[in-house]
Amino acid sequence: MLGAWGDASSLSDLMSARNQSLSPIDRASHLRSDGDALALLWKSAAILPIIDGHIGAGDSGLRFLDADTVEFLAASFETGERYFLGQARDGGQAFFAWRTSWINEPADEAIKFDGFKTLRAVGSELSEIELTVAMHAVGLSNWHKSHPRCSRCGAETVADLGGSVRVCVEDSSQHHPRTDPAVIVLVKDAEDRILLGHQAIWPEKRFSTFAGFVEPGESFEECVSREVFEEANVYCNDINYLGSQAWPFPASIMIAFEAITDHPEAAKPDGAEIVEVRWFSRDEMKTAVATGDLLLPPTISVARKMITGWYTSKAGYTVKDLSGGESWRN
């Protein structure tokens, strides 16, 4: 049965505020069709540059440009495309993304990406408003980059309405950004242990929750049951909704659930995508993290928030117990 956070009250406290309240950025969709207004906003905007999936970033957060700097960089970079991301609710600062590329691309990646980082690398260090901007910018940029042609006739498409659509230059059809829904599941048993899996392509000792894309004609709950059985061989019940997270790698939305299995002894990996599964009590997890035998998902991820929420829901277990050892799949 679908529940509103179920009994996971501590988890709701740990899920990002982006899931619980109004976004700090007003996407201001009413301005997208107003070219004059967007041109005026561009002049004073905070502009996030994007090159091949890398965003402008330094040691202390995102690295925004102003319009004059973008114009100055035109000697080295393509004109690119501008995407209107919205305005800050506090103060009205306008934000744009600028997706571009080198005119003469350096062979050395250290030079090519100087001053740029991937969102995966920098995401956990960003403020709430920076993360909101970066998630939108990267997701939108990924979609634009992968849709240069009309799916109807094959002609070129161009960005329009502030980057919120692409329009075919031949038949004028509009093409809108796509987001792919995927469920992510925290599986528990009657002893309040959690089941985690290790993918073959992950670093050694990296474990996480189970996840998979929703298939056509499938409900979220059906997807939860199917994915967990396919990957870990256990059937689930008491499926409860926990929250969601934008995940633009390249274009997903993660829908988080918890689920209970009555047959924990049946758990085994599928041997293809998942090559190992392990049940963890809180004490077992604490020890495994401390000894380096367990690498958890990064703190930016909803998977980590689910694990942390479960772990800290019992007295005596704190977030600090799980710090260190986070690992991305590169």
Q: How does pLDDT run across 279-297, given as a tens digit for each residue?
A: 999 999 999 999 999 999 9
Residues 212 and 299 both lie in one domain:
yes
Domain-embedded: residue 4: no
Q: What is the mean pLDDT of the segment spanning 134-154?
A: 97
Q: Which residue, of 99, 126, 146, is where some domain finishes?
A: 146
Residue 330 has pLDDT above 70, yes or no: no
CATH code of residue 131: 3.90.79
Question: Of 125, 122, 119, 112, nearest to 97 (Cα)?
Answer: 119
pLDDT score of 172: 98
pLDDT score of 325: 63
pLDDT score of 20: 54
**Which of 3-7, 16-20, 204-208 tops mean pLDDT?**
204-208
Residue 60 has pLDDT above 90, yes or no: no
Residue 17 has pLDDT above 90, yes or no: no
Backbone phi, psi, residue 21, to 5°: -145, 180
Domain-embedded: residue 26: no
Number of domains in the chain: 2
Q: Which domain holds residue 108?
A: 32-146
Residues 187 and 291 both lie in one domain:
yes
Lowest mean pLDDT among 14-23, 62-71, 143-152: 14-23
Q: How confident is the model at residue 19 (pLDDT cuts 50, 70, 90)?
A: low
The residue with greater pLDDT, 220 or 323, is 220
211 contacts 226 by C-beta, under 8 angstroms: no
Residue 217 has pLDDT above 50, yes or no: yes
Q: Is 295 helix (H, G, I), strand (E, B) or coil?
A: strand
Residue 110 has pLDDT above 80, yes or no: yes
Residue 74 has pLDDT above 90, yes or no: no
pLDDT score of 75: 85
Domain-embedded: residue 170: no
Residues 13 and 102 both lie in one domain:
no
Domain-embedded: residue 172: no
CATH code of residue 260: 3.90.79.10
Residues 285 and 185 both lie in one domain:
yes
Q: By CB neighbour count within 10 A (0-12 exposed, 13-18 middle, 19+ buried), where does 5 fall?
A: middle
Q: How confident is the model at residue 275 (pLDDT cuts 50, 70, 90)?
A: very high
For residue 144, give the H/E element and its range: helix 128-146
Rg (CA), the chain: 22
Q: Which residue, of 123, 146, 169, is where some domain finishes?
A: 146
pLDDT score of 324: 72
Q: What is the mean pLDDT of the segment spanning 129-158?
A: 97
Residues 219 and 248 both lie in one domain:
yes
Residues 142 and 191 both lie in one domain:
no
Q: How confident is the model at residue 91 (pLDDT cuts 50, 70, 90)?
A: confident
Residues 305 and 190 both lie in one domain:
yes
Residue 94 has pLDDT above 60, yes or no: yes
Residues 135 and 233 both lie in one domain:
no
Residue 2 has pLDDT above 60, yes or no: no
Domain-embedded: residue 24: no
Residues 14 and 54 both lie in one domain:
no
Residues 191 and 279 both lie in one domain:
yes
Residue 13 has pLDDT above 50, yes or no: no
Q: How confident is the model at residue 59 (pLDDT cuts 50, 70, 90)?
A: confident
Residues 200 and 118 both lie in one domain:
no
The per-residue pLDDT for range 157-191, each reduced to its tens digit, is 999 999 999 999 999 999 999 999 999 999 999 99
Residues 192 and 230 both lie in one domain:
yes
CA–CA gap between residue 62 and residue 125 (Å, rounded): 9
Q: Which residue, of 130, 146, 162, is where some domain finishes?
A: 146
Q: What is the pTM of this model?
A: 0.87
Give me the sign of the Cα torsion angle 111, 115, 116, 122: positive
Domain-embedded: residue 141: yes
Domain-embedded: residue 166: no
